[in-house]
Amino acid sequence: MMHKQELSRRDLLKGSAAAVGTLALSGAVIPLAQAQSSDKIRVGVIGCGGRGSGAANDCVKSSPGVEIVALADAFPDRIKGLKDRFKVPENRCFTGLDAYKELMALDDVNLVILATPPGFRPIQLAEAVKRGKNVFMEKPVAVCPAGIKMVIEASELATQKGLAIVAGTQRRHEPKYIETMKRIHEGAIGDIVSAQCYWNMGNLWVSNRQPGQSYVEWQLRNWLYFTWLSGDHICEQHVHNIDVINWAFNDLPTTVHGVGGRQFRTGPEHGNIFDHFGVEFVYPGDVRTISMCRQIKGTAGRVSERVVGTKGVSNCAGVIEGENPWRYTGENPNPYVEEHKDLIASIRSGKPLNEGKRIAESTLCAIMGRESAYSRQRFTSKWFRTRCSLDLLPPDGLKLSAGRNFAIPGKYKLPGLGG
């Protein structure tokens, strides 16, 4: 499924977990002026590609008194656009794989945006909490159970320290979704008996390997197509829709059974991920949800959710049909901006939002769907949480071999299960 790695990831995981544990035991807290302030929010952006640039722009638009004051990325060329736009001084721009640590060491930065490839997010979130920073982190928040564990531990510590964590699940901050979910939870469609969610689309960008480019650099620039970096597209994209279904149920699935494959995108430029997935998630009460996602050129697109109840049906996004018909007619501002607005308001009010555990659980559902499809095995979420030993966290030095292996359904062995 992934490239063989020469150093143990466990060493890195233990080190980061130990750092989080030490902080928890010490009872260390962030200074009040940094956690709660009506003054300027000084933002450091970690990961300055497309999503990092978008999040930085949305953050500044969202509220008065917000400044981008520091930037970090593995590569210097990725920083230039934001550096020029926000006039960030050269001495506050950091590059390299450890650049996030240099940025987080700046005392005046009180909010960080984490927008590097998802494989790095657990390590960077743990460091941010250790340093006493409020966090906006893009989804997904991990690519394996080991990373999920680290995110949940860091989120719990953030609560102890009075820090805010908001995730890039913008539907959770979108009025038409919020009002629809309120009505669903109040019984407008009755008891949910089935659900469906989709992220079906065409191709995305590809970064081909350039002459003289190392294998590691190419993977980092072409990160969508490597499971250890993106989690595969069921995690990187479809987690949005899975999160909405979890929200509708106000619960998590109990079992998962997935299929999928690599039919269209078979070249080396597409790394080791699949191009389509179909997953059945079973929620408490034996309520079954069908989840589909696909990235194949020339195919019909569909990005949506749907829940069916005993009294009606809803698209989760402003429409209910059945015994209690309703349609949302209020304002619906840009949710990509609203999520930052809500984050900053929570910091300034002294009532910090913390979405870390919630998005970690939805990300874990996407990971379970991926692993079930890779292995073609059905398993319970309880087993996956407690017994699956899969760990894709990057080792020190990122020393990867040149092999390019990917999961072959029916042959791939899921750690702890066999397959």
Given the structure tokens 């469609």, which residue do they identify? Answer: 189
162 neighbors 136 (Cβ within 8 angstroms): no
> Which tens digit of pLDDT belongs to each residue from 309-365?
999 999 999 999 999 999 999 999 999 999 999 999 999 999 999 999 999 999 999
218 neighbors 229 (Cβ within 8 angstroms): no
Both tokens of 279, joined, read: 């997953």
In whole angstroms, what is the distance from residue 103 CA to residue 44 CA? 7
Given the structure tokens 């995690």, which residue do they identify? Answer: 235
Q: What is the pLDDT along the chain (419 residues), one digit of tens a residue?
A: 333 333 333 333 344 444 334 333 333 433 433 434 448 999 999 999 999 999 999 999 999 999 999 999 999 999 999 999 999 999 999 999 999 999 999 999 999 999 999 999 999 999 999 999 999 999 999 999 999 999 999 999 999 999 999 999 999 999 999 999 999 999 999 999 999 999 999 999 999 999 999 888 999 999 999 999 999 999 999 999 999 999 999 999 999 999 999 999 999 999 999 999 999 999 999 999 999 999 999 999 999 999 999 999 999 999 999 999 999 999 999 999 999 999 999 999 999 999 999 999 999 999 999 999 999 999 999 999 999 989 998 765 454 443 345 677 667 888 777 54
Asked if residue 175 has a cis previous peptide bond (ω within 30° of 0), the answer is no
Beta strands in 202-330, from DSSP E residues, in sequence order: 255-261, 276-283, 287-295, 302-309, 312-314, 319-322, 326-327
Give me the domains of the chain, ranges plus CATH numbers: 9-171+338-355 (3.40.50.720), 174-333+364-398 (3.30.360.10)
Between CA 318 and CA 177, with CA 301 as vertex, the angle to 5 degrees is 15
Q: Any alpha helices (H) in 352-417, and if so which ranges?
A: 356-375, 381-387
Provide the 10 A C-beta neighbour count for residue 351: 11
Both tokens of 375, joined, read: 């292995």
Both tokens of 334, joined, read: 């840009």
Amino acid at 215: Y
In whole angstroms, what is the distance from residue 133 CA to residue 125 CA? 9
- From the centroid of its chain, how far is CA 397? 23
| pLDDT score of 398 | 56
